Amino acid sequence: MRVRDIEVNRENTEDLRTVRDTSALYIQGKGRKEKTDYVKLPAQVEQGIRDYLKTRKTITTGTPLFTSTSNNSAGGPPDNAQHIRHIKDQAKESGL
């Protein structure tokens, strides 16, 4: 499963769907104008996303799947620098 950080930034909650009994995340692939591609999500990833969404207060259509907590963009999608920092932090914690 590979997704570019910009694709994650574009994700909204309604992009998490079921395709043939498998959870999938619809993405706007490189050079595309619509979210017609999708990646299958392993059960652990889907559960992690659903657990995260339970912690959010308000979720409506068009709400970003992942949100920023910074003062400048709270509630909006995170920027690429935030993604890179978060991935590096997670990699360090996991021993990579």
Q: What is the pLDDT of residues 71-85, one digit of tens each?
A: 666 666 666 676 667
Q: What is the pLDDT of residues 11-41, one digit of tens each?
A: 888 999 999 999 999 988 888 889 988 999 8
Residue with tokens 């692939």: 29
Answer CATH for 5-94 from 2.60.40.10, 1.10.443.10, 2.30.30.40, 1.10.287.3610: 1.10.443.10
CA distance 65 to 25: 10
Q: What is the pLDDT of residues 41-65, one digit of tens each?
A: 888 888 888 888 888 877 878 888 8
Domain residue limits, the chain: 5-94
